[in-house]
A and B are shown apart, each in its own frame.
Chain A
Amino acid sequence: MNEKEAPLLEMRHISKDFFGNQVLSDVNFTLKRGEILGLVGENGAGKSTLMKILFGMDEIHQTGGYGGDILLNGEKVAFATSIEALAAGIGMVHQEFSLLPDFSATENILLNREPLKYTVFSELFGERLNILDREKMTEISEKAIKRLAVPLDPEMLVSQMPVGHKQFTEIARELSKEGTGLVEGIKLLVLDEPTAVLSEQEADSLLKAMRLLAETGIAIIFISHRLQEIIDVCDTIMVMRDGKIMKTGPSKGVAIPDIAKWMVGREVNTSAIVHRVFDYENKDIILALRNLWVDMPGEVVRNVNLDVYKGEIIGIGGMAGQGKLGIPNGAMGLFPAGGHVTFEGKDIPLNSPRNFLDAGMAFVSEDRRGVGLLLDETLEWNVSFTAMQIQEKYLKQYLGGFFKWRDQKAIEEETNGYVKQLEIRCTSTKQKAKELSGGNQQKICLAKAFAVAPKLLFVSEPTRGIDIGAKSLVLKALRKYNEEQGTTIVMISSELEELRAICDRIAIVSDGKVLGILPATTDSAEFGLLMVGQKSEMIDGGSV
């Protein structure tokens, strides 16, 4: 490779903040033709923001742009839209498929870019009345598929494809844009976690296809959390953490534990919370999950076995999409699930939230707006509803319990209590839940769960989408509740450091299974290894 030639892509001093929240600072890297760059980092490390900046996504422009320069072939560029980025030869394959199920691979590859055959009607009614040139469509898509050297049938319907083929279709779509009005030649492809949903075999053929493409001179930015793949396929590895580049270097000679170490160890503002030593001696198992499977789209749980001890705070961590969220949602009954859940020695029938709640468990959902709150109702309703329905709190009973009247006063008192206790900022308890900020909404969700006085509380992503101040408040409230009420807490979070800060032990979930459970005091590099699917000797099954 000619070293004097200007690099294909160079990003200089890129920085970005969302309303004062610094997500990227001083990011520098270069990319040559035909180079494969592996980009790794924990969720929220800034990978996707960096890519969004490269593509000139609306989201970036609407939040005040970015700092630093992007150079393409030595020339400064700033794309206003992803279409401009494409015109310059940069294609992207997103993590979520953007495919139409009832269309064939060819139709999807050429969606809205179909070659047309002239018909007279188009003179009258415009271009859209030309008919599709099916032969040419097949030709183009076959050509694009050929470059990947994969056995993808261009006529197969997407709905009948295995996932791997869907991924190939997506990549072929980007390649097929070459030589059309949109772009002369694809020079750079960004693949965002393309192997996440693939089987090993499929992933292998994808990696092969990537190498093939690179040989033809296309540079690839490969985002993945499967570190072995990164090491196998990439020329260069770039590790991000907390919006900074921790390490850039050739992949040769790098071992997985190194990468894992660079990836994790993020600093979290949890100074106020001190580690404690939880005594597991003579503690009963309060909750046991056996062979749990959960069909939660995007968070499938396959075969989870987990014991939770009375009084502890156990964390469940892992990468997004690996199934950690599926565990509480399935146990609670919000998504179809199977297997066995035993609580205090009793079997809890699955698929019914009522059984779960009656047994004395509660759940704070990660989906605040969808599951956690009655957005159109008052705070009072939100806080009191579950407790009222499950435990008949805040009700005045008449005629021997035949008539259960809502006790407005009791509801108000209780809500006011929580507003004070959790420092919820609101104009009154009559305010609608949708009018609160994210952090305060989260506190309402906690208050709702506290109101039922659960023996065991599932908390899912309690700090997602809330600011730092509120974060530590929420975490402190959880710890305090655990200590004062003796409530066992199962906390699910994507942020390892947050888990390490308040949990006693942490289970790491990958590919829908519990890979291992470690004490929270374990070095974060160990967790990093577990997250990417590597077990070291230190880890032994489910016990502590």
Chain B
Amino acid sequence: MTLQRTKSQKVLRFLGNNTVPILFLVICAFGIPLSGYSTNYLVSEVVVRIARNSFLIVSLLIPILAGMGLNFGMTLGAMAGQIGLIFISDWGIVGIPGMLLAMIISTPISIALGLWCGKILNMAKGREMVTSYIIGFFMNGIYQLVVLYGMGSIIPIRSSALVLPRGYGIRNTVNLIGIRKSLDNVLTIKLFGVPIPLVTFAVIALLCIFVLWFKKTKLGQDMRSVGQDMEVARAAGIKVEHTRIVSIVISTVFAGYGMILYLQNIGTLNTYNSHMQIGMFSVAALLVGGATVSKANIRNVFLGVILFHLMFIVSPMAGKNLIGQAQLGEYFRVFVSYGVITISLVLYEVRKKRDRGDAGQLLAAEQGEAE
């Protein structure tokens, strides 16, 4: 026996399940005309953001598959990527080889950090998200210790463009001129006047194909099992803890690569800030795309990047045109980013409860017949 739902209940359910993307569509629908930007400008900006951010966001998918929620610990990967970039900048290796080398350097660091992070998260089952979030902060301290105090003193860094005048520690901003847009500019075509970095897109496509393929592997299947019910998976002989750690390691490594891709597009590294913000923005974008804490796919990534960054691009201008203060728009977009994560987390928890409540309705309905 199933519960019959009326049409209006169904509509409500659809709206409820897609609250966040719909909310964003509305914001964008108001914001775009207010900002006064041309379509062409907006499209090319969004294309840039897709190329820049989607790799990072895709790195969040695998821990969700394994039921570990949003991996706020992706900042760890971002740190590893940045360390790779600092080294290649110091060694003066430019272009694609530089990027590749940065990736190679970042990989073992990402793996080590991912292993550690995964172990800690296994100790905090049921509150992975808040723990991974704090891990990000904790590691930021260690990162500062290494980059601000270790580099140039213990770890040899020669370039004076990198090292602070006091003789050790990396400067606040590092110019990544050597690899700036080196991937984006390999092959760019113009479509209706919008430049499209084909190679970057190819790399992202490759990653998406990897994720799709990965879901079909035994490991992917194991992660789905672990994500649904750790105890059942364990009873079937799946190594639950190990599988969870692997998912975090993969996510961290990809986040490292994603960060390198992101920074090659931007061209400058904010040594002590870039990685902290990127976690929040990636998570927010994914959620805007309609993902939840327990379910996310590639469609969510792209829808999310487009909607989230449209809002991001238009809000300062819209704020200026509406109130006369660009600052307002900037605060607004920060508010929306955090607000979106809050709403998504709340909806996720509420929905979990609602599903449990359905069983009772069924019994009541049955009783109604009996009476």
Contacts and interface: CB of A to CB of B under 8 A. Distances in A.
Nearest to B223: A128
Interface string B202-239: 00000000000100111101101100110011011110
Nearest to A293: B367
Contacts of A367: none
Contact of B222 (A112, A291, A294, A338): A112
Contact of B219 (A101, A129, A295): A129
B218 A127 contact: yes
B363 A300 contact: yes
B108 to A, nearest CB: 15
Interface residues of A, number: 31
Given A129-B217, A132-B218, A291-B370, A112 B225 contact: yes
Contact of A128 (B219, B357, B363): B219
A59 interface: no
B159 to A, nearest CB: 35
Contacts of A127: 218
Contact of B225 (A100, A119, A303): A100
Given A131-B213, A291-B370, A302-B366, A98 B218 contact: no
B56 to A, nearest CB: 23
Contacts of B237: 112
B1 to A, nearest CB: 10
A130 to B, nearest CB: 6
A418 interface: no
B364 interface: yes
B363 A98 contact: no
Contacts of A302: 363, 366-367, 370
Given A107-B221, A111-B225, A98 B370 contact: no
B193 interface: no
A99 interface: yes
Nearest to A82: B235
A114 interface: yes
A103 interface: yes
B360 interface: yes
A57 to B, nearest CB: 12
Contacts of A107: 221
Contacts of B224: 100, 102-103
Contacts of B235: 98
A131 B363 contact: no
Given A102-B224, A128-B222, A338-B367, A295 B360 contact: yes
A114 B218 contact: yes
B359 interface: yes
Interface in A288-331: 291, 293-295, 297, 300, 302-303
B218 A131 contact: yes
A336 interface: yes
Contacts of B222: 112, 128
Contacts of A98: 232, 235-236
A132 B236 CA distance: 17
B217 A128 contact: yes
A113 B359 CA distance: 33
B228 A132 contact: no
A297 B236 CA distance: 24
Nearest to A101: B228
B367 A130 contact: no
Contacts of A114: 218, 221
A479 B87 CA distance: 80
A130 B364 contact: no
Contacts of A525: none
Given A102-B224, A112-B237, A293 B217 contact: no
Contacts of B229: 100-101
Nearest to A295: B360
Interface string A102-142: 11000100011110100101000001111110000000000
23 contacts: A100-B228, A101-B228, A102-B224, A102-B228, A103-B224, A103-B225, A111-B238, A112-B236, A113-B236, A128-B219, A128-B222, A130-B217, A131-B217, A132-B217, A132-B218, A293-B363, A293-B367, A295-B359, A302-B367, A302-B370, A303-B367, A303-B370, A338-B367
Interface of A: 98-103, 107, 111-114, 116, 119, 121, 127-132, 291, 293-295, 297, 300, 302-303, 336, 338-339
Given A99-B232, A128-B222, A130-B218, 15 more contacts: A100-B224, A100-B229, A107-B221, A111-B236, A111-B238, A112-B238, A128-B219, A131-B217, A132-B216, A293-B367, A294-B363, A295-B360, A295-B363, A302-B366, A303-B367
